[in-house]
Amino acid sequence: MSDPFSTPPPPPPPTGSNSFGSSGSGSVIPCDNGVRFGALLLDSLLFVVTCGIGWLIWSIVLWQQSTSPAKKMLKLKIVDFNTGAPATMTQMLLREGLGKIVLGTITGITGLISAVLILVVPGRQGVWDYIAKTTVVREG
């Protein structure tokens, strides 16, 4: 007798996609780790220069465009890691709000761990990217 509460196994992953997911126009290729690390440093500098408040307002406006102040300046975009689609507002809130602002404020170590991850993992993802299931690509 089968268990009526059991769930079927998940479907197999789509064929032909790489570890970064795929979009309709091809594979998602994260930007170089140096560019990614530079964007992290530039966002940090912009945060300090604008006393945090300017950066936060600027960021919230740019979240609708799936980017951040530094990424906008460097022509980078935040995309869904699995599909390659521009990050949704929910993903941006998770990534920037929870991942960077909340965790970064509570534990300053989050930025350091993310900087190391961006330099060493193939998907070039920081802690906040893992939270939101995102990665950063060049605008196409």
pLDDT per position as a tens digit, 60-97: 999 999 999 999 999 999 999 999 999 999 999 999 88
pTM greater than the 0.85 cutoff: no
What are the DSSP E strand ranges found in the chain? 22-23, 26-27, 76-80, 134-138
Residue 76 vs residue 121, higher pLDDT: 76
Q: How far apart are CA 83 and CA 49, in angstroms?
A: 35
DSSP string for 15-40: TT-BTTBEETTEE--PPPHHHHHHHH
Within-domain flag for 16 = no
Residue 133 vs residue 44, higher pLDDT: 133
Within-domain flag for 137 = no
Band of the pLDDT at 7, cuts 50, 70, 90? low
pLDDT per position as a tens digit, 9-58: 444 444 333 344 333 444 678 888 889 888 888 988 998 999 989 988 99
Within-domain flag for 15 = no
Within-domain flag for 127 = yes
pLDDT at 5: 54
Residue 8 vs residue 47, higher pLDDT: 47
Within-domain flag for 121 = yes
pLDDT at 6: 55
Within-domain flag for 6 = no
Within-domain flag for 4 = no
Q: Which domain holds residue 124?
A: 29-132
Within-domain flag for 7 = no
Band of the pLDDT at 115, cuts 50, 70, 90? confident
Structurally, the chain folds into a number of domains equal to: 1
Q: Is residue 8 left, alpha or beta, with left meaning phi > 0 and alpha meaning psi from -120 to 50?
A: beta
